[in-house]
Amino acid sequence: MKDEIIDLLRLEDKEKVSFLFDKALKTKLDNIGNKVYLRGLIEYSNICQKKCFYCGLRAENKINRYALTNEEVVNAAIFAHKNNFASIVIQAGEVKSHSYTKKITRLLDEINENTNGELGITLSLGEQTKDTLKEWKDTGKAIRYLLRIETSNQELFNKIHPNDTFHSFDKRLATLDMLKDLGYQVGTGIMIGLPFQTEENLASDLVFFMEKDIDMVGMGPYIEHKDTPLYRKYKKILLPLQKRLELTLKMIAILRTIMPTINIAATTALQTIDNKGREMAIQAGANIVMPNISPVKHRKDYLLYENKVCLQDEADKCMSCIFNRIHSSGAEIGWGEQGNSLHFLHSNIL
């Protein structure tokens, strides 16, 4: 299978590529239908203890650090609930401490109380201990967790992270396994267009998602951030942005054909390269969109990468833009539906 995937990733012929996208779209329609589900994205905090070489939030960067108040998060959650989003994602830099664990637990309870327990919550708070992940799961509200492996190739992983126990491939893998054991819907993903990344690496990433029986995937292009070691060192050998976009769309399409019932995100990073990037992803098989509903005043401080879109748009304006985008891609919006991964539901019923 890997060799076939590599061939597909190398396809240049426009007709053949569009055949791949059509096949992926058909697979999506046949297996999970035409709905795109919304997850309101709340960028909870940019405080991070890690130093990933590619990311603008890395601990060494001098940026204006913030954490939203519980009230700000709850207000964003209420916005999502009132507007029938049915799901939110709480994402942040990585912080590990007893008090942080408790803080998030309280936050989950508060969101729950203020939204009739009707929101499906995804957490994306980095690697945590099993006890912490269990505590959050036990609130009954955190049902999904996103932790990108970034690349399933250990050698490449080690090139894009510092070499210390804080940034360990094995730990990241072990955390994905823990999440599965704890009964979360498990999401992972990778960045596409990293220096040294080959088509073979990307094909192995897709096989990795299958082998790990992943429920949700978010894959996006790697986008440069000038204040990072990865950019400084390797800017001359990066793939052109357009190529990263094309590869990401192909990856989405191939993934949809091999894992027909998982959730696949049309990531915002795609739109940084092409204004229609997210629509293209939906047409290539993605079924999840994450409108940013974070307070506007902090958005410019959550720059994982540069040229991030939607920095100024208040949540309601952002909403109408997203809806137009989804409709123009020919899909419908799954209002009021959590849109849980059918892959997860099937494997937990059968």
Using the rule CB under 6 A, is 55 a contact of ligand SF4? yes
Chosen from ligand SAH, ligand SF4, none, partner binding at 87 (C-beta under 5 to 8 Å by type)? none
Q: Which stretch binds ligand SAH (CB under 6 A): 14-22, 146-154, 240-248, 315-323?
A: 146-154
Residues between 86 and 125 that touch ligand SF4 (CB under 6 A): 93-94
Q: Which stretch binds ligand SF4 (CB under 6 A): 11-19, 49-57, 275-283, 309-317?
A: 49-57
Residue 269 and residue 222: Cα distance in Å, rounded? 8
Of 189 and 285, the one with the shorter C-beta distance to ligand SF4 is 189
Of 126 and 193, the one with the shorter C-beta distance to ligand SF4 is 126
Please select the residue that binds ligand SAH; options are 24, 74, 85, 93, rule is CB under 6 A.
Answer: 93
Chosen from ligand SF4, ligand SAH, none, partner binding at 308 (C-beta under 5 to 8 Å by type)? none
Chosen from ligand SAH, ligand SF4, none, partner binding at 58 (C-beta under 5 to 8 Å by type)? ligand SF4
Chosen from ligand SAH, ligand SF4, none, partner binding at 124 (C-beta under 5 to 8 Å by type)? ligand SAH
Please select the residue that binds ligand SAH; options are 223, 254, 289, 315, rule is CB under 6 A.
Answer: 223
Of 96 and 103, the one with the shorter C-beta distance to ligand SF4 is 96
Joined together, the tokens standing for residue 181 give 């054991």
Using the rule CB under 6 A, is 256 a contact of ligand SF4? no
Residue 156 and residue 152: Cα distance in Å, rounded? 8
Sheet holding 288-289, edge to edge: 288-289, 35-38, 332-333
Using the rule CB under 6 A, is 222 a contact of ligand SAH? yes
Is residue 216 a contact partner of residue 265, using CB atoms and an 8 Å limit? yes
Q: DSSP alpha helices (H): ranges in the chain? A: 2-10, 14-31, 70-82, 98-114, 130-138, 154-160, 169-181, 199-211, 229-234, 241-258, 268-273, 277-283, 296-299, 315-328, 342-349
Please select the residue that binds ligand SF4; options are 5, 20, 48, 216, rule is CB under 6 A.
Answer: 48
Q: At how many degrees (to 10) do helices 14-31 and 241-258 cross?
A: 40
Residue 73 and residue 76: Cα distance in Å, rounded? 5
Q: Under DSSP, is residue 108 helix (H, G, I), strand (E, B) or coil?
A: helix
Is residue 205 a contact partner of residue 152, using CB atoms and an 8 Å limit? yes
User: If phi over 0 gives left and psi between -120 and 50 gives alpha, with beta otherwise, what is residue 191?
Assistant: beta
The residues of the shown chain that bind ligand SAH, judged by CB under 6 A, are 54-55, 91, 93-94, 124, 126, 147-148, 150, 191, 220, 222-223, 225, 269, 304-305
